[in-house]
Amino acid sequence: MTRTLLNKFNQYAFKISSNTVILSLREGYIALIPFFIVASLITLINQWLNISMKGVEHQFLEDFNVLVWGIFPVLTLMSFSYYLSKNLKVHSIASPILVFTCFTATTGYITISDGDLAINHRMGALYSLLMPVVCCYFLSYLERLRVFRLVGVSSISLFLRKHLNLILPYLIVTSVVLLLFPYIDMAADSIVELLRSLNPHWNVFEKLSMQLIISHLLWFIGVHGDNTYQLLVSSELTGYYVLPDLISYNFFTGFVILGGTGCLWGLIVAAIFLKKGQHEKRIAAISSPLALFNISEVMIYALPIVFNPYILLPFLLCPLVNASIAYFAFYSGFVSVEYADEIPWFTPIFVNGWLLTESVKGIVLQVGLVLINALIYFPFLKANRDNNLSGKALDVLMKRYTAGRLIEEGAEGSFSETQRKEQISAHSLKEVTEALNQGALTLFYQPKINPYNKQVVGFEALLRLTNKDGTVSGPWFLETLDQHNLLHIIDNYVIDQLEIDLEQFSKHGLKPKISFNISPQNLLTGGYRRIIKAFAKFPGQVEVELLESSYIEDFNKTVTIVDSLKKNKIACAMDDFGTGYSCLSVLSKLNIETIKLDRSLLPEQLNSKSISLYTNLSEMISKLGFKLVAEGVETTDEEKVVKQSHIECVQGFLYFKAMPVEEAIYLYMTKGDTADNANTAKDKGEPVEE
């Protein structure tokens, strides 16, 4: 029962994490991390000057601080709009401009008084998230309707045609937003008035709970929770005495939100002790210096905590636990308040504990709270590591949906250079970009089988396109992309996705050998460096499949590249041997390990001459020291020929079609090569049955 519920939660959490809006919001906030750091440091310096050096003139810094945080809603709006429009495949410059126009026209963020423009940064904080979603999705829908297109396929550039076709959707979105949002604003005002009317005579626990839960939920959706909460409720619910001489401000900064929102010192400690949590450890290391001054934005947006279902519960629970324990500690007399004035929010942990209590007990209380928070966070952080999208995996997920846009950008340059001479070719490329924009790239894995014992000895990674209707098709678009020198975009996706999938195999204790293809041009122009960077950490597991054209184009350079790959424990194979310009004389000069015999060499209808050719060719290649893989085995007769040729590795529909990585992992766990699994078990220190 527990396992079933956990699996359902993981599925639900993955859907949230991979949702286009959530991914876009994360990308938008990550892009703003440099701004958060700089803005926080400016605030920190300004506060320090206000307290410690009142005689020093720093009005310019005060003004700059107000301006920086005043434009924060617009920066959030533009960053979120850019990434959301990019992921929805609408124009990533025109869309944010539309969103900004609608935002300023409807929210009161920019006002006009006596002909002068003024910013009211308290207006529109929540709309900075709502407006991009409404405008971008509406624009994406209208853009796909042919009735609103002013220009069809013509000889004008792709770039110009796309922008001309935005005119009518732009006009409709703007009109609808201007008509609709006054009513949304009225509803929002009613909610704010309701919140402000909440009973200011609540007891301390009710006030504490309300403030902690609402402010942290606001942070969870990416809104500055503390500032927004103060805007939403009455002052009686934000500034009050927790105990005599202990104001809520000091209580929160000194003993509740240790390290910033969400009690981040506990999260940082948990990340440090998380095994195999490289992403979490790196973010914790980056966040630590800022958490020293209770600045939490880096951890919130980079881990991320925002819209992360695995972290939500401890993110809400830790502050409530800290508030309860700290309240009891003060109420029982374990610690007492010795300093009644406000202590700046940026005062480091332990320093503020000492200042408030003038006792080692205050520091001991803080240490205990941090350790409790770490224990609460740890199992959730572990679940996040094992199941959630972060780091490289998140980047690759985005590439699945953005390959079409990257190709479209490259296509514009190609079209501009050739104009009408390649109009037909450009039209073909337009069909490719539309297909990629509407679908998503993915990798499938075709098992390689030992024909004698039927065990899985490895896989070949094959590119697939998941179409808009959910069907999966092969990479029919590669030839067109090759004509326009755009295959490197696909190659880069394959390398990045394979790296992520190998890590998925590794999490299950599996180390299969997986081969993949790369375009000859990309390989010879530096693509091999990306391969080494991605796969050197998987020694003996990756095999690069080369076409003979790589050697024909530049034999010496290809030999050098293959040697470089081999030094990094990355094997190489020649793919599709027996097609095109395959030349027997080149075999004696190759420095690769494996030859893959193309299906076209397999005998048709058990032709004796064809069988003799196949078996003798296989024998000759084996004697030259190459491993052999038979491709395209689809019948038992073909399997007999392969066995007769003493080939120990085959691929084909007779055994398995290509499958998603999850199915490949399960298949290898159940039917993987015994020797490989035994070696894996030995590496992990597990007993191996002889």
Q: Domains of the chain (ranges plus CATH)? A: 198-388 (no CATH), 391-574+656-679 (3.20.20.450)
Which residue blocks in 388-486 are alpha helix, DSSP H? Answer: 391-418, 423-438, 478-483
Give the pLDDT mean for 407-435: 52
Of residues 641 and 553, more confidently modeled: 641
Q: According to the model, what pLDDT value does residue 417 have?
A: 42
Among 49-63, 178-192, 272-286, 393-407, whose mean pLDDT is lowest? 393-407
Among 86-100, 410-424, 594-608, which is the least confidently predicted range? 410-424
424 vs 489, residue with greater confidence: 489
The pTM of this model reads 0.60
How high is the pLDDT of residue 286?
A: 86
Give the per-residue pLDDT at 687.
38
Q: Tokens 């392969």 identify what position?
A: 642
Most confident of 55-69, 179-193, 364-378: 364-378
What does the pLDDT read at residue 423?
Answer: 41
Q: Is the peptide bond before 304 cis (omega within 30 degrees of 0)?
A: yes
Q: Which pLDDT value is given to residue 675?
A: 45
Instruction: Identify which has the larger pLDDT, 18 or 205.
Output: 205
- Among 239-253, 317-331, 543-557, 596-610, which is the least confidently predicted range? 543-557
Query: What is the chain's alpha carbon radius of gyration, rounded to the nearest angstrom?
Result: 31
Percent helix, percent strand, percent coil in the chain, to nearest 5:
65, 10, 30
> What is the structure's pLDDT at 419?
42
Which whole number is the average pLDDT over 17-45? 77
From residue 645, alpha-carbon distances to 213, 587, 619, 622, 636 in Å are: 70, 18, 7, 10, 14
| Amino acid 388: pLDDT | 62
> Encoding tokens for residue 313?
């519960």
Q: Is the pLDDT of residue 427 over 50?
A: no
Query: Pick the residue with more confidence: 570 or 106?
Result: 570
**Listed ranges 118-132, 241-255, 421-435, 662-676; the one with the highest mean pLDDT:** 241-255
Where residue 53 falls among pLDDT bands split at 50, 70, 90? low
Task: Output phi, psi for 201, to 5 deg.
Answer: -100, 20
Q: How confident is the model at residue 99 (pLDDT cuts 50, 70, 90)?
A: very high
Residue type, 514: I
pLDDT of 582 > 60? The answer is no
- pLDDT given for residue 682 in this prediction: 41
Distance CA 408, CA 401 (A): 13
Least-confidence region, from 158-167, 322-331, 467-476: 158-167
Of 183-197, 269-283, 291-305, 360-374, the range with the lowest mean pLDDT is 183-197
Distances (CA, A) of 567 to 122, 503, 535, 536, 612: 59, 21, 12, 9, 37
Q: How is residue 273 written in tokens? A: 């002790």
Average pLDDT over residues 504-517: 91
Q: What percent of the chain has pLDDT over 70?
A: 82
Q: What are phi and psi of 154, to 5 degrees?
A: -150, -175
Put residue 152 in one of left, alpha, beta given phi > 0 → left and psi -120 to 50 → alpha: beta
pLDDT of residue 414: 46
Mean pLDDT of 510-518: 93
pLDDT at 663: 92
The answer to whether 91 and 51 are in contact (CB under 8 A) is no
Q: Is the pLDDT of residue 690 over 70?
A: no
Helical H segments across 107-166, by residue range: 127-144, 158-164
- Does position 211 have pLDDT exceeding 50, yes or no? yes
pLDDT mean over 476-505: 86
Q: Are strands 241-243 and 246-247 parallel, antiparallel or unpaired?
A: antiparallel
DSSP conformation class of 465? E
What local confidence, expressed as pLDDT, does residue 52 receive?
60
pLDDT above 70 for 393: no
> Is the model's pLDDT at 680 over the cut of 50?
no
Residue 107 is predicted with a pLDDT of: 80
Q: Kindly state the percentage of the chain with pLDDT values over 90.
A: 27
Average pLDDT over residues 348-360: 90
Mean of pLDDT values over 638-649 = 91
What band does 522 get if pLDDT is binned at 50, 70 and 90? confident
- Residue 187 pLDDT level (bands cut at 50, 70, 90): confident
